[in-house]
Structure formats: C-alpha cells, structure tokens
Amino acid sequence: MSHIHDRLSDWWDADASTYDASAGHAMTDPVEAAAWRQVLVRALPPAPARVLDVGAGTGALALLAAELGYDVTAIDLSEGMLAKARAKASERGHEVTFVHGPAEEPPAGPFDAVMERHVSWTLPDPMSALRAWRAVTVPGGRLVLLEGSWAGEGPWVAAKDALAGWVERARGIEDDHHAPYPDDILSALPLRRTTSPAPFLDAVWAAGWSRVRIARLRDVEWAVEARQPWPLGWLTHRARYAIVAEA
C-alpha cells in the first residue's frame, strides 16, 4: 500500500500546479460555490461542528465549510496540494487545521462529521478508509460522501465522451490535470468505474455505517454544466450525489 501511496502522492504533487485552473476544482465560479455551500448546510450537522475533510486537495470544500462556521481539519496525501490550500486559507483569513497523510490514516479527532469530495474513487482500499473514518467519528456523527457516477450512466456515454474529446481538441481546450492516471494505478482502484451510486452505498454499509441515505446533487450538476462552453457541459455531464450515513 505504501508504494501506491507514494506514487499517488507524487502524481498529485505534480498536479498541484495545474489543478486550480479548472473552476470545478477550485470552486471559483460563484454559482458553483453557492451550490456546494447549500450541499454542506444540508448534509453536515449544524456549525460549529468539528468536520474532517478527507482528500482536501487545494482546500476548496474545506474553505467553504470554514466560511460557514465549521471547525475544519483537512487531510491530504499530497503536500503540494496542501501548500495551495494553506495559502488560500491564509489569504482568506480562515482557520483550518491541515494534516499531511493518507485517507486511511485520519487524525484521532473525534469529529462530528467526516466528508470527502470526489476522493473515494481514488482510494486503493476504500473499505479500510471508511472504517478508519468511522473510528474517529463521535457516536451519531455523520459521513458525507460527495461522489458521482464517474464512468457515466446510460447507453450513449462512450459516444458522448468521444465527441467531447473531439470538441476539446478542436477548441484547444487542455485537460484539467497535468497527465492521465497511470493504467496500473487505475486498475488498483475499486471504485474507479462507477456507473451508479450502488458501489459506494455497498461500501458504506459494509464498513459499518448506519442510516445510509442519498440525494442527487442536481444544483451542482447544473452549475458545473453551465460553466462549460456548449456543448461540453451536456456531453461530459455526470450524475452526482451526496451519500450521508451515521456512526
């Protein structure tokens, strides 16, 4: 596991220089940021609850939560990504505790809630991470997974993705990341090719969380689609959802 962690850390360190160029990553678009604030208010316990943001990256979600009055601790495997997050927190005057480490080894807490955004699919052992997050959550505390059907849903996904790639090349639009994930790393990620929320729900139940529920994040989907030039928003659309459970 440490070998994979080292390779993932190196990849994300390299990606830190380009990651925030995408509005969807940095949440610099005001409509998208407002949609995510609403998600947090609905999914998290009331502020000033203690919240652990796992895989915080450059801090977009952690900073929105801190802005809403939450006591936020943010952990990430990549020191390069955390450096960006620390700089933004300082610039905006938000108090966030930053921790460098893998998702499977969270700080002791205890926390009232653990949240992640687009992280579970990147984990080599999501079950281990989900159990570790439950161990640092207070009884009755919450898990909030903000994920999506990243491989797409429906029969026309492959055709739409191919057309989107052609449009991006024709318009000279660069990829949001510095490079693709290596194939051997992708093959080690159990949740990389989700076409429904079912694999996430199954993992949450199996890790011992209870009262699992789900809500479609249509406002976020709309905001993400609207910020892209037509027809890329429609072509690259992915279903997104909040999976909430309790310890």
Amino acid at 229: P
pLDDT band at 151 (very low <50, low <70, confident <90, very high): very high
Quote the CA–CA distance of 39 and 216 in Å, as a whole number: 10
Q: What local confidence, expressed as pLDDT, does residue 178 receive?
A: 83
Q: What local confidence, expressed as pLDDT, does residue 162 receive?
A: 95
pLDDT band at 35 (very low <50, low <70, confident <90, very high): very high
Q: What does the pLDDT look like over 55-69, one tens digit per residue?
A: 999 999 999 999 999
CA atoms within 13 A on the CB side of 6: 3
Q: What local confidence, expressed as pLDDT, does residue 174 receive?
A: 80
Amino acid at 129: A
Q: What does the pLDDT look like over 219-233, one tens digit per residue?
A: 999 999 998 889 999
| Token representation of residue 123 | 């984990």
pLDDT band at 1 (very low <50, low <70, confident <90, very high): low
For the chain, list the domains and their CATH numbers.
2-246 (3.40.50.150)
Name the residue among 219, 82, 65, 88 with its Cα closest to residue 142: 65
Q: Are 115 and 223 in contact (CB under 8 A)?
A: no
For residue 133, give every residue at least 6 positions away whose Cβ sits within 8 Å of its Cβ, in sequence order, or none: 52, 54, 106, 114, 143
Across 138-158, average pLDDT: 95
Q: What local confidence, expressed as pLDDT, does residue 100 receive?
A: 97
Q: What local confidence, expressed as pLDDT, does residue 200 receive?
A: 97
Full DSSP string of 12-41: HHHHTTTGGGSHHHHT-SHHHHHHHHHHHH
Peptide bond into 48 cis (omega under 30): yes
Q: What does the pLDDT look like over 91-126, one tens digit per residue?
A: 999 999 999 999 999 999 899 999 999 999 999 999
Q: H or E stretch including 12?
A: helix 2-15
pTM over 0.75: yes
| Token representation of residue 181 | 């994930």
At residue 2, does pLDDT exceed 80? Answer: no
Quote the CA–CA distance of 195 and 157 in Å, as a whole number: 10
